[in-house]
Structure 1
Amino acid sequence: MKYHQRLSLLILLDSVIVLSAIYISSYLLYSSPTLTTNIVFLSSIILVLAHHLFAIYLKLYQKAWEYASIGELITIFNVVTYSVVLTVIAQYISFGMVMTRAMVITWMLHILLIGGSRFAWRVFRDHYWNPTQGKKRTLIIGAGSAGVMVARQLFNSIDTELKPIAFLDDDPAKKKMQIYGVSVAGKIKHLEKVVEEMSIEHIIIAIPSLDNKRLKEIFSHCSKTKVKTQIIPMLEDIVTGRVSMNEVRDVQVEDLLGRDPVELDIQGISEYITENTVLITGAGGSIGSEICRQISVFEPKQLILLGHGENSIYQIERELRGRYQNRFEIIPIIADVQDRKRIFEVMETYQPHVVYHAAAHKHVPLMEYNPMEAVKNNIFGTKNVAEAAKAIEVNTFVLVSTDKAVNPTNVMGATKRIAEMVIQSLAQDSKTKFLAVRFGNVLGSRGSVIPLFKEQIKIGGPVTVTHPEMTRYFMTIPEASRLVVQSGPLARGGEIFVLDMGEPVKIVDLATNLIKLSGHSLDDIEIEYSGIRPGEKMYEELLGDDEIMKKQVFPKIHIGKSTFDEFQGILDEVNSLPKIEQNRLKEHLFKLISTEHKQAKETV
């Protein structure tokens, strides 16, 4: 129904109700209504006009009555009260008397009929127009404000296929309470029993302040029921405005890492980013684009988005422009880090204060077949960007590295370790602070195992895992990006920063969780073991034995010590790499790495 049609209908309905209220009250109280005809007639006109005046002023006609609650009832009370008071004043001024009893009854009938007409619509909508037959019986975990909001949203929504049946909450004060007619059926530990007894078909976890460890515990209970489980957003995402509280989503494997996020030193980061120019290479990639988002919060003077793929750079540029509305300058640059001349031109033109180098080839098996491409991008691309940064005396240069650079067994890891050595060599005689940041595997990034597993699950399996004992450290894209951003203020030059990533995760456990999160069981989707691929290790390390400094320099952040000093010799070797034949390139890369390890052992 259009707004003007709805408004006309409500005005007509309210006029009938107001007139009915005052004439019924006078009929009930006065045996000879003719004696009061004049005062009743005038009072009815004033009451109708006053009602519409206050209804418009207090926005009574703009209320969505399908969601009517206490707030709407208060508005009705105010409109009716003000209308009756104004009518009483008019009676006294015009006739020198007040129909006290009649106006009291009018006031009561007025509230009853206006409120009844509005709430009758909600009752009709909820019980006749929006029937609950055929909807999925839903259990809400958490009977706090978030859980109550979810229940209300489900009751009020016409389109939802979910019907709240019960709450679970560990607060003993809420035991057996009823909220919107839905009872708190027990504690979270009773989940399996409640699901079975109440024939639950859907579960929503509605505790936004839940930490990852507790979420993992709750989900382990949910997964035993084989009932689809969803979750409302985490408190952090709600506070930062990324999502609203009523956006229910599927539980993601990232939610189950069981580790609290890194807390940032806001002041320290602001001092070296806010009102400064920041350049990010690989800005369109999964890590690079998230670094852009993290940096944008601190409103740099200029944000230079440098990347080789025009579509990915366009997407992150459009996202940031839409979110930050010209609060700082965003400059997209299409360039290849292998193009030394172009990189030097960009550095010279924009004079960045901080550079984040995230551009790299990172796919392990592919780089085994294409070692020269890994060398050109990961080593010489890093060398070009780092030397250009040194030439213009950039304040801080951050290299995004990998745990595969520790005791590498593959081309990708070897090239990233040599890239670390390149920036460590430049750090020795430079005004620029050079540092590297090592990640474990990043969930959801391009080339990670998660998209592959999801694709295999989508087609019905099997899910292929290389080995039942293979483990990896895992982190989310936002965690990885926070580590990069936080490392800048901590750097003195030449360091390697590593996130405390907790315990490594078995790949087979990750696959199992993904299968369950997709609403399947291991009976539906099988796991097959395909064998270790070229260049893969059974487990990864974040720091070598000779690099470890146990003390954290920041909560959840460790720093590795340099173990190699013959940097100039290494740079000479690096410059000779393009001259080496393709079939001997791997051998030469690992020879460079073994030289480092040999020197480290001699130092020890």
Structure 2
Amino acid sequence: MEIESYKEKYKYRNKFTRGLFFLVGDAFSLCLSALLSYIILFPFTDIVRTFPLEHTLLIIGSILAAMAVFRMYLVNWKYTGLRDLVRIILAIVLGGGLSFGIAPFYQEMGNYEYVFTALVLIHGVLLISGFRISKRLYHEFISRSKNSKKYTIIFGGESEGEQILRDILKNNQWDLSVYGIFDDRVLPGLRMHGVRVLGGKKEMIDHIRRFPVELLIVAFPEMPKKDLKEIIDEIKEIRPEMEIKILPSFHSLTDDPVGVKHIRNVSIEDILGREPVKIDINSIRASITGKTVLVTGAGGSIGSELVEQCAKLKPTRLVALDIDETELFYLVNEFEGSETEVIPCVANITDESKIDQVFARFQPDIIFHAAAYKHVPMMESFPDEAIKVNIGGTRLIASLACKHKVDKFVMVSTDKAVNPANVMGATKRVAEEICMARNGTGPTKFISVRFGNVLGSRGSVVPIFIEQINNGGPVTVTDPEMKRYFMTIPEAVLLTMQAGSMGDGGEVFVLDMGEPVKILDMAKDLIRLHNLEPDKDIQIEITGLRPGEKLYEELLNAEEGVLETEHEEIFKAICSRRTDEEELETKISDLLAHLKKGKNEYIRDHLKSLVPTYTYKERKKVNGTMTPQKGKSLFVEG
């Protein structure tokens, strides 16, 4: 209430001081006009005349009154235009006429008085108009370089906003000119590096309606995503073409000083999903610093982020292993010249001889196992490959980890391992079982971390939607009711590292994914972020569920519960069913043996014996041949 009261007072105070400023400026211009007129007439008079003070005061008073009638004290100085100049001339003419009508009642009017008055009016038009248009002339001509910069406003007047403003003022290369700061947390009227705080969110929206704002910088990293989405939606309705950039929350283990280089375009991650995660950097640092870290699947979305975050914590050695040599090449190039050397290793996690050599050479202390096949529809068509890599590869890596006395083995799992309806989910569930069964059989502590979809990963729905939007549509959604849990890649990786540092072995950790999001709503938000209208500029097409897809994903089995941990966003699953190691090995060996013999038609039945909660639809045979699985080629990452 106090802030609102202060803002209301400031509103009227600002209105009064602006009017008083123009009044004083106009009066001074008229005084100068009268002085110039007297000097001009002085050589042409027969007798020495004193300055006509009373007549001058009458002229000034009449003109100022006329200016008030024409509401010339409620205008914006910087945006004085042709209409305002016309009103100034009319006001001066009216004021001059008024003075001509009043003057004869108190003095004798002669040729000198009439000529003096006319000259004052002419000079008044020139000087007052010049005064009123001076600020616009300054910005458009004298300060042309500044005027050519983007008209920018900043939402966020605390530490981050101040640092960004200072960076803009300090470095001309940004080509930005800040005209105001808005923040409900800061009292309006204050100045920051010469730029005034003009109010809060409401005042900012009004400012965008009235002035040609080209760029809004949201320097408010802790702003709730739903509030940011409301602001963006409101601005897009007013000015769809306006550029909006944000200073994101730093999902990083080390932060640079805030500057313009950190701001970026608004992405779907900024308005979707959970709020920024909190991490205990000290516990993560203790588990990484000075250790040899091996990341499998290092060329993938999760794997490359694991490499990037681990590199900041100065491990003794950081080994990046992947079968994709191209992605590995790009990853290693990013770390050229950095303090931490990333050692590339091109290898297949199903190649026992090669992986054994890698372990023997580098002797890793901690393994982050992110290598896996994750694309649901593709793995429905090639279930044998999912089993070879997700099950066979995990079993091999886990076995060698025990052999080489690795301290910790952290496996990246998925929500699709819960009551799986597809091959990918079932194989990841078996991989979790392998980790739990292996734990305690040697010195290695095995930990699994389960989470949902990650935004922006290779093959995920977001880049595919963006590509479809750029191509003019349509955007394809499989079902209007489909929902998924989403998390950004940095969030998922930092929480995975956090869970790995917390685990004592044998746990399946479950990340708090927040609320599930409708895929249809996500598609509409993405279209709006591209300044387009859903179903008007870009059509949305419903294609139907694809093989192995569910409308909803779960993070826990029906028979499971969770225990809280010291971290509010990480839970520990209570896994009531754990397969005996010997029984698990026997079943996996039988499954892999069937693959070698080419008996792929029995794969799903064998998976069902390993994962009783796995459900799938039988494909029909036509003339003795399995029918192909139908579905669009829109692959949504696990």
Contact 2:476 2:542 in 1 (8 A): yes
SS at match of 1:130: helix
What does residue range 35-114 of structure 1 map to in structure 2 within 5 Å?
Answer: none
Match for residue 392 of structure 1? 404
Change (3 A) 1:474 1:126: farther
Task: Answer yes or no: is 1:207 the counterpart of 2:220.
Answer: yes
Amino acid at match of 2:513: M
Match for residue 552 of structure 1? 565
Q: Distance in 1 between matches of 2:292 and 2:171?
A: 47
Change (3 A) 1:250 1:243: farther
Match for residue 330 of structure 1? 342
Match for residue 610 of structure 2? 592
Task: Answer yes or no: is 1:286 the counterpart of 2:304.
Answer: no
1:319 pairs, out of 315, 331, 334, with 334
Q: Distance in 2 between matches of 1:487 and 1:198?
A: 49
Task: Answer yes or no: is 1:228 the counterpart of 2:242.
Answer: yes
Which stretch of the first structure deviates more once superposed, 499-508 or 582-591?
582-591
Task: Answer yes or no: is 1:439 the counterpart of 2:439.
Answer: no
Match for residue 196 of structure 1? 209
Superposed CA offset, 1:511-557 (max 9, x none): 12211222222232222211111101101111112222142342210
Q: Distance in 2 between matches of 1:168 and 1:303?
A: 45
1:354 pairs, out of 366, 374, 382, with 366
2:254 pairs, out of 235, 240, 255, with 240
Match for residue 540 of structure 2? 527
Amino acid at match of 2:356: F
RMSD of equivalent CA atoms? 2.9
Q: Distance in 1 between matches of 2:494 and 2:418?
A: 21
Match for residue 319 of structure 2? 304
How far did residue 381 of structure 1 move? 0.7
Change (3 A) 1:159 1:350: closer
Q: Distance in 2 between matches of 1:127 and 1:258?
A: 48
Q: Distance in 1 between matches of 2:560 and 2:425?
A: 16
Change (3 A) 1:166 1:346: same
Match for residue 29 of structure 1? none
Structure 2: 5+ residue stretches without partners:
1-137, 616-638
1:408 pairs, out of 395, 416, 420, with 420
Amino acid at match of 2:154: I
SS at match of 1:322: coil
Change (3 A) 1:337 1:203: same
Change (3 A) 1:156 1:524: farther
Q: Distance in 2 between matches of 1:249 and 1:314?
A: 26
How far did residue 507 of structure 1 move? 0.9
Contact 2:187 2:199 in 1 (8 A): no
Task: Answer yes or no: is 1:167 the counterpart of 2:181.
Answer: yes
Contact 1:216 1:258 in 2 (8 A): no
Amino acid at match of 2:607: L
Which stretch of the first structure deviates more once superposed, 522-531 or 205-214?
205-214
Contact 1:166 1:182 in 2 (8 A): yes
Q: Distance in 2 between matches of 1:152 and 1:306?
A: 43
Q: Distance in 1 between matches of 2:256 and 2:191?
A: 32
Q: Distance in 2 between matches of 1:235 and 1:477?
A: 13
Which stretch of the first structure deviates more once superposed, 283-292 or 422-431?
422-431
Match for residue 437 of structure 2? 425
What does residue range 452-531 of structure 1 map to in structure 2 within 5 Å?
Answer: 452-522=464-534, 523-531=536-544
Q: How many residues matched?
A: 470
Match for residue 253 of structure 1? 268
Q: Distance in 2 between matches of 1:391 and 1:560?
A: 27
Amino acid at match of 1:276: K
How far did residue 185 of structure 1 move? 4.2
Change (3 A) 1:270 1:338: same
How far did residue 153 of structure 1 move? 6.2
Amino acid at match of 2:220: I
1:274 pairs, out of 289, 295, 320, with 289
Q: Distance in 1 between matches of 2:161 and 2:285?
A: 36
Contact 1:464 1:530 in 2 (8 A): yes
Contact 2:153 2:181 in 1 (8 A): yes
Superposed CA offset, 1:234-269 (max 9, x none): 363799346851123201111223533333333323
Contact 1:140 1:204 in 2 (8 A): yes
Task: Answer yes or no: is 1:573 the counterpart of 2:587.
Answer: yes
Q: Distance in 1 between matches of 2:145 and 2:151?
A: 15
How far did residue 138 of structure 1 move? 3.8
Rg (Cα) greater in structure: 2
2:575 pairs, out of 562, 566, 584, with 562
Q: Distance in 1 between matches of 2:603 and 2:265?
A: 45
SS at match of 1:594: coil
Contact 2:139 2:147 in 1 (8 A): no
Q: Distance in 2 between matches of 1:238 and 1:349?
A: 30
How far did residue 359 of structure 1 move? 0.5
Superposed CA offset, 1:198-253 (max 9, x none): 34444221334545454344334334433434224336379934685112320111
Q: Distance in 2 between matches of 1:170 and 1:342?
A: 60
TM-score, reference length from structure 2:
0.68
Change (3 A) 1:269 1:241: closer
Amino acid at match of 1:586: R
Q: Distance in 2 between matches of 1:421 and 1:333?
A: 27
How far did residue 273 of structure 1 move? 2.0
Superposed CA offset, 1:122-164 (max 9, x none): x99983551626x664443234465466567667877767654
SS at match of 1:394: coil
TM-score, reference length from structure 1:
0.71
Contact 1:229 1:251 in 2 (8 A): no
How far did residue 500 of structure 1 move? 0.9
Match for residue 39 of structure 1? none
Q: Distance in 2 between matches of 1:405 and 1:552?
A: 22
SS at match of 1:498: strand
Q: Distance in 2 between matches of 1:549 and 1:197?
A: 53
Which stretch of the first structure deviates more once superposed, 406-415 or 551-560?
551-560
Contact 1:442 1:475 in 2 (8 A): yes
Contact 1:191 1:221 in 2 (8 A): no
Contact 1:138 1:163 in 2 (8 A): yes
Q: Distance in 2 between matches of 1:179 and 1:517?
A: 31
Contact 1:202 1:227 in 2 (8 A): no
Contact 2:509 2:570 in 1 (8 A): yes
Change (3 A) 1:243 1:370: farther
Contact 1:203 1:227 in 2 (8 A): no
Task: Answer yes or no: is 1:369 the counterpart of 2:384.
Answer: no
Q: Distance in 1 between matches of 2:406 and 2:198?
A: 61
SS at match of 2:508: strand
Structure 1: 5+ residue stretches without partners:
1-122, 598-604
SS at match of 1:397: strand
Change (3 A) 1:167 1:124: closer
SS at match of 2:335: helix
Change (3 A) 1:286 1:366: same
Change (3 A) 1:190 1:221: farther
How far did residue 179 of structure 1 move? 6.1
How far did residue 432 of structure 1 move? 1.0
